[in-house]
Amino acid sequence: DWTMAAYKDQAIAAIREQVGDGKVICGLSGGVDSSVAALLIHEAIGDQLTCILVDHGLMRLNEAAEVAEMFRQHYNIPLVHADASDTFLDALDGVSDPELKRKTIGKLFIDVFEAEAKKLGGADFLAQGTLYPDVIESVSFTGGPSVTIKSHHNVGGLPERMDMKLVEPLRELFKDEVRELGRELGLPDSFIGRHPFPGPGLALRCPGAVTRDRLDILRQADAIYLDEIRKAGLYDAIWQAFAVLLPVQTVGVMGDGRTYEYVCALRAVTSVDGMTADFYPFDMGFLGEAATRIINEVRGINRVVYDVTSKPPGTIEWE
């Protein structure tokens, strides 16, 4: 008779046995996965764990600060907050190919992470919040030939380079199970219920060039959209919702003037595990209000569209 409480105890015992009195470092992204992995490991081995938050400048509005505060203040878990946004954004200058974005970010992430780990005096183990779908989807397309759909930046790379053993306590779990485990570990609901967010962050939601200006515009639109979703009481009914800033400008009219600004696409899906997804059937009144607020409040956007593609054939992220 399988329960999450039993799984937790088992996982803690397994971590203790694997790690012994070794040092562990864990990359925190702000997402549920790495947070749950960190908490679980902290519960198992206490201050033998240090977390590193690599801030790539591609997080959502206020996200990095909130994560740092949560782990340091609320949980008292040692956390290094490495602001590397300039490094990442400079490297992404001129990069618009989705796979190249992912590879650029993934490689730099490793560099920065490694440098921060060195500053800490190194460690014996590297912890990652890798889930079961991450493991299979980045390897092959189920039932077909081995084709990489997207290079997941949180799988592989680090361990070989850093000569560290991996601790991946969530490797057998699906997302809903990770959330249950988080609840078991006392993570607040506000954190557990958070929509998934990809490692390469907002770069994937800025098709075409990723610039500081475009990221700022995207962050504002995204925050308004999610605010509307929360106010409508829909946040928990949705697996993932976010704004995408298209590299396309269109003509509009505002007051007496002509505008020529970017298009913002809104995405929302329901899903059980991220492997398949359906677009969320908002009512038109909701979409109209979200669009009006975004266009009125965000300089740089004059048109909003809604993505009605399910997965397959679309993926959840646009890149």
Stretch that binds ligand XMP, among 36-44, 71-79, 110-118, 147-155 (CB under 6 A): 147-155
Nearer to ligand XMP, 180 or 317 (CB): 317
152 belongs to the binding site for ligand XMP (CB under 6 A): yes
Residues 6+ apart with CB under 8 A from 46: none
Nearer to ligand XMP, 40 or 105 (CB): 105
In the complex, least distance from residue 257 CB atom to ligand XMP, rounded to whole angstroms = 37
- Total number of residues binding ligand XMP (CB under 6 A)? 14
Cβ atoms 270, 258 nearer than 8 A: no
In the complex, least distance from residue 302 CB atom to ligand XMP, rounded to whole angstroms = 27
Question: How many whole angstroms separate alpha carbon 178 and alpha carbon 34?
Answer: 10
Hey, which residues between 255 and 274 contact ligand XMP (CB under 6 A)?
A: 274
Q: How many C-alpha atoms does 289 have within 13 Å on its Cβ side?
A: 10
311 belongs to the binding site for ligand XMP (CB under 6 A): yes
Nearer to ligand XMP, 72 or 311 (CB): 311
Nearest 5°: CA angle at 195, between 153 and 237? 145
31 is in an annotated binding site: yes
154 belongs to the binding site for ligand XMP (CB under 6 A): yes
Question: How many whole angstroms separate alpha carbon 12 and alpha carbon 207?
Answer: 41
Stretch that binds ligand XMP, among 38-46, 80-88, 197-205, 257-265 (CB under 6 A): 197-205
257 is in an annotated binding site: no
Which residue from 196, 208, 252, 300 is in contact with ligand XMP, where contact means CB under 6 A? 196
Which residue from 200, 221, 265, 280 is in contact with ligand XMP, where contact means CB under 6 A? 200
Q: Under the rule (CB under 6 A), what is the footprint of ligand XMP?
A: 150, 152-154, 196, 198-200, 240, 274, 311, 315-317
Which residue ranges are tagged as binding site for ATP?
29-35
Which residue ranges are tagged as binding site?
29-35
